[in-house]
Structure 1
């Protein structure tokens, strides 16, 4: 990363990739970030998943969030979108 760049990491559990996508899509400013998803595998010392359903265990995903400006967007556009989301809550 270059100076001034940032990334945010998140750990999510979902039954499948579609469930994870639903969670990511519900988060603020989806249009202004890129999400890099890594499916995590079980470690030999892992006690097991915290949540399950009838079909088995939930999968765990590591997600790296990074800002992603749209081509041609003004530098003020993300701030405007953030303010609009705050008013709609």
Structure 2
């Protein structure tokens, strides 16, 4: 039978995996937003939609570059979770 401690460990591992996988995309979006914000401040351009296209392109490129790593990490986590499935259903 699975204990509360094991459930906490599984949930903790899953949340850490989500954070670890999302960090490259979120950091890219944040950095691009900051750079464009500084550019808008320096040039006095106050267009709200100016950040949208560069962020979308940068996030897309990051997913293309890091997608294999993200999928490998997630696949490894799911494989580990399913390989221990017999322990969870007793």
TM range (shorter): under 0.3
* Higher helix residue share: 2
> TM-score scaled to structure 2, two decimals?
0.24
* Higher strand residue share: 1
> TM-score scaled to structure 1, two decimals?
0.24
Q: Which has the higher contact order (CA 8 A, sep 6+)?
A: 2
Bigger Rg, which one: 2
